[in-house]
Amino acid sequence: MTKLLFFTDCHFRHRTPLNRTDDILETALGKMEYILKFAKEHNCILICGGDFWQTPSQPDFVAARVAELFEKYNLTTYFLIGNHDCIGGNIDSYKDNKLGLFQHYSWFKFLVTNPIETEDVIVEGCDFSRELECPEHIPCKDIKTKKIRIVVVHSMITDDSGVIVDGKSKTINWCSIQTAADIVMTGHYHPGFEVKQNPLGTYFVNPGAMVRLEASKTEINRTPKFAVIEIELDRISKIKIDLIEIPHRNNVFDIDLKNKLNSSEEEKQKFFDALDSLKDEEIMSGNILSILEKFNIKKLPEDMRLIITQKIIERCMDKVRQLSEER
């Protein structure tokens, strides 16, 4: 029998979001230790679905605390690179940041370059990419095998109707996806969903983000979980998938502060709308500076400024990629 433990979207960070009343780093470390202890006690292979970090260049003391915890349990863990683990969606940028440091630990493995194969299962991974963020098809290597095939992705797969903005898909429902895999495990979509199975027998698994970052109704009411997949090949394949609750506090959000920040959220959204309205030729010009000046982002909370900075980088990188393809 093979046991896999799948967790995702840890978002290790040193700054606690304004709407939380706890210490986000200590909370995340506590949850991570619960997962590591569970994996050790139940002899599970650990897989992280991406977004291990909130930003790729977290302070050294944060990386040290996280590394110390993994060193304590010394369990081989397989990682995907998520969009938060790199800069501007460029996964190669991980090398200059904290994942680039962690790859030198003996317990750290990139799933893409180190696929898992046991007597029961083959597990392969796909790091974050724009092409696979809302995929209609999830690739799975074409090999003949009786083993269970699992693909791990960092994609915006949901159990709700797909969201389309300006003709582009922002999310995709699990039932709209085609794949040759027996099981698809995914992160990126923080709310997660219950285990699903399509008519062809493929399971879709997203336990949700390990931490809750936003004081939205969905996140306030959500219970953080991880997934345990047990697979045994005998005369017939036996697959068991459970979502396990992670101990957590319910009252970590400051609802009063959330209400006070509504106006700031509205300012942030106005900025995003203005940024999205730019024509392609304007995104690389000085017009973006006028938008920054108009909305005076210095008055926004630090977390929101970081989100806006990431948005600008992603939009510029998209334009650079487009220009490269045209040439």
Q: What is the DSSP string of 148-161?
A: EEEEEE---EESSP
For residue range 112-139, list pLDDT tens digits in order. 999 999 999 999 999 999 899 999 999 9
Q: For residue 291, is pLDDT > 80?
A: no
Spell out a b/e string for 83-111, using b for 16 or more CB atoms within 10 Å of the CB, else e.
bbbbbbbebebbeebbbeebeeeeebbbb
Section 160-168 average pLDDT: 65
Distance CA 274, CA 293 (A): 12
- The pLDDT of 205-217, averaged and rounded, is 92
Nearest 5°: CA angle at 229, between 228 and 234?
Answer: 145
**For the residues 151-176, what does the mean pLDDT come to?**
83
The pLDDT of residue 307 is above 70: no
* Banded pLDDT at 281 (limits 50, 70, 90): very low
Residue 316 has pLDDT above 80, yes or no: no
* Residue 280 pLDDT exceeds 60: no
More confident residue, 323 or 316: 316
Query: Any idea which architecture 2-245 has in CATH?
Result: 4-Layer Sandwich (3.60)
Q: What is the pLDDT of residue 118?
A: 95
| CA separation for the pair 201, 237 (Å, rounded) | 12
Strand pairing partners for 95?
A: none
Where residue 20 falls among pLDDT bands split at 50, 70, 90?
confident
Label residue 318 by pLDDT band (50, 70, 90).
low
Q: How far is CA 166 from CA 54, 137, 149, 313, in A?
A: 27, 21, 35, 20
pLDDT at 171 over 60: yes
CB 197 within 8 A of CB 204: yes
Which among 277, 313, 279, 314 has a CA at the least distance from the CA of 294? Answer: 277
Best CA proximity match to 174, nearest among 155, 146, 188: 155
Residue 322, pLDDT score:
59
pLDDT at 101 over 90: yes
Task: Please compute the mean of the pLDDT values over residues 54-76 and round it to a whole number.
Answer: 96
Q: How confident is the model at residue 19 (pLDDT cuts 50, 70, 90)?
A: confident
Most confident of 19-28, 69-78, 209-218: 69-78
Residue 192 has pLDDT above 80, yes or no: yes
Q: Which of 57-66, 129-138, 234-243 has the least mean pLDDT?
A: 234-243
Confidence tier at 170 by pLDDT (50, 70, 90): confident
| Mean pLDDT, residues 132-155 | 92
pLDDT, average across residues 168-177: 86
Mean pLDDT, the chain, as a whole number?
A: 85
Q: Which residues contact 65 (CB under 8 A, 6 or more apart)?
A: 25, 29
Q: Tell me the CA distances in angstroms from 219 to 86, 141, 151, 213, 253, one per residue in order.
A: 24, 35, 27, 8, 10
Reported as a pLDDT band with limits 50, 70 and 90, residue 279 is very low
Mean pLDDT of 255-264: 56
Q: Which of 17-21, 110-114, 167-171 has the lowest mean pLDDT?
A: 167-171
Query: Can you give 297-322 as a three-state secondary structure string?
Result: HHHCCHHHHHHHHHHHHHHHHHHHHH
Confidence band, pLDDT 50/70/90 cuts, at residue 250: confident
